[in-house]
Structure 1
Amino acid sequence: MRINVLQHTPNEGPGMIADWAHAHGHTMYVYHPYQFGVLPTADETEMLVILGGPMSPNDDLPWIKQERDLIQQLLDRDVPMFGACYGAQQISKTLGYPVTKAPAKEVGWAPVARQSTVIPGIPATMSVLHWHEEMFEIPAGATLLISSDAVRNQGFVMNHRVVGLQFHFEPAADNVREMVVNDYRYIAGSVLDQSAKTILQTPVPPENKDILYTILDYITA
């Protein structure tokens, strides 16, 4: 399977999604539309991964709108799709729902709670990395999957093929360090009140890799 990954900033890459792809014998192509303005076509996409980034789906940039055109084509074709943070917001925005300021800016490690058992194997609570201050709406026909105390809309699943998460399961330890050392200024103002040092010293929960794999296996089954 050809997995096309849309990456939107140098320090937020596919992380453990790449491990999953390699373990399953898939081929992964990483695009950087914010820098090169290049996107894959729908015909060459068997799975789409839309990663996070500092931009907003509300920004008036041609490549952001072109991404949504691609997303719509793939939704129409029932192609597996996984969105993280900005990526999840793009999916919701493509479906006609607003992306707005979240009730609280969340940056750092904090628990989230499962709201649906539609994907078997997701535990009731999880500790995840947050890096956002905007929020998607849950599209019609989608199921609320995960919430946090501060932000209800943390994850959705739709049609057994699409999952959008407001937070990050994909970073391994090296990826977390890359995010923090390059984007530490963004931590200020978070309701989680964690320092860069605290975020760096918090181990990535080993179960997060298993949960990520469970989600990716579900949408590609």
Structure 2
Amino acid sequence: MRINILQHTPNEGPGAILTWTQARGHQTFVYHPYQFGQIPTADETDVLVLLGGPMSPNDDLPWILQERELIQTLLDADKPMLGACFGAQQITKALGYPVSKAPAKEVGWAPVYLRSHAIAGLPEQLTPLHWHEEMFEIPESAELLYSSDAVKNQGFVLGHHIVGLQFHLEALADNVREMVVNDYPYLEGSVLGQTAEDILKRPVPVENQQAIFEILDFITERK
């Protein structure tokens, strides 16, 4: 399969998602629409992955709107999609649901709790990296997948091919370091109260990569 990845900032890369594509023998193309303005067509997309970024789906930028047009076409075609943070918000925005300020800004490590067993093999609790202050609404036809202590809407699963996560399961140790050293000022105001040093000294839980593998296997399984 051709996996098209939309990366929205230099310091939030695909991490473990790329590990999965390599392990499964898929062909991967990484696009940078914020910089080059290029996005794939629906015809050349078997699976779309939308990563995080500092922008908001509410921003009036041409490439953001073009992304949502692609998302809508893929929704109509029932093609697999995974969104992380901004990427998940883009999916819900394309479905007609608002993206707004979350009840709390979460930046750092914090647990999330499983709310749906639609995807077999996911643990009841994970500790992913959070890096957000906005929140998507859960589409009416979707199931709430994860919640945190501060923000209820942390993940959703829509049918068998669409998953959105407000947090970052894809981040490996190198990704975490890159996010922190480049964007540590964003820690200010986080309800988690963690410093850059706090985030850096905590190892990435091995369960996070296992969970992102389970999710990607789920959305790409032929039904």
TM-score by length of 1: 0.99
Match of 1:10 in 2: 10
Deviation at 1:89, TM superposition (A): 0.2
* Structure 1: unaligned runs, 5 residues or longer: none
Deviation at 1:140, TM superposition (A): 1.6
The CA distance in 2 between the partners of 1:119 and 1:138, in whole Å, is 17
Match of 1:62 in 2: 62
Structure 1, residues 71-116: CA drift from partner, whole Å, max 9, x if none? 0000000110000000000000000000000000000000000001
The CA distance in 2 between the partners of 1:82 and 1:54, in whole Å, is 18
The CA distance in 2 between the partners of 1:207 and 1:166, in whole Å, is 17
The CA distance in 1 between the partners of 2:147 and 2:21, in whole Å, is 27
What letter is aligned with 1:189?
G
Alignment pair present for 1:42 and 2:42: yes
What letter is aligned with 2:196?
A
Deviation at 1:55, TM superposition (A): 0.1
Deviation at 1:32, TM superposition (A): 0.4
What letter is aligned with 1:102?
A
The CA distance in 2 between the partners of 1:46 and 1:118, in whole Å, is 22
Match of 1:52 in 2: 52
Match of 1:151 in 2: 151
Match of 1:169 in 2: 169
Structure 1, residues 10-66: CA drift from partner, whole Å, max 9, x if none? 000100100000000000000000000000000000000000000000000010000
The CA distance in 2 between the partners of 1:90 and 1:59, in whole Å, is 11
The CA distance in 2 between the partners of 1:152 and 1:216, in whole Å, is 23
Match of 2:134 in 1: 134
Alignment pair present for 1:194 and 2:194: yes
The CA distance in 1 between the partners of 2:160 and 2:145, in whole Å, is 12
Deviation at 1:194, TM superposition (A): 0.1
The CA distance in 2 between the partners of 1:6 and 1:42, in whole Å, is 13
What letter is aligned with 2:180?
V
What SS does structure 2 have at the residue aligned with 1:44? coil
The CA distance in 1 between the partners of 2:17 and 2:151, in whole Å, is 25
The CA distance in 2 between the partners of 1:96 and 1:35, in whole Å, is 26
What SS does structure 2 have at the residue aligned with 1:42? coil
Structure 1, residues 107-137: CA drift from partner, whole Å, max 9, x if none? 0000000001111111111111000000000
The CA distance in 2 between the partners of 1:140 and 1:90, in whole Å, is 16
Deviation at 1:159, TM superposition (A): 1.0
Structure 1, residues 131-161: CA drift from partner, whole Å, max 9, x if none? 0000000012100000001000000001110
Match of 1:206 in 2: 206
* Structure 2: unaligned runs, 5 residues or longer: none
Match of 1:31 in 2: 31
Match of 1:100 in 2: 100
Match of 1:160 in 2: 160
What letter is aligned with 2:54?
P
Moved over 4 A (4+): none
The CA distance in 1 between the partners of 2:158 and 2:208, in whole Å, is 21
The CA distance in 2 between the partners of 1:210 and 1:123, in whole Å, is 10
What letter is aligned with 1:98?
P
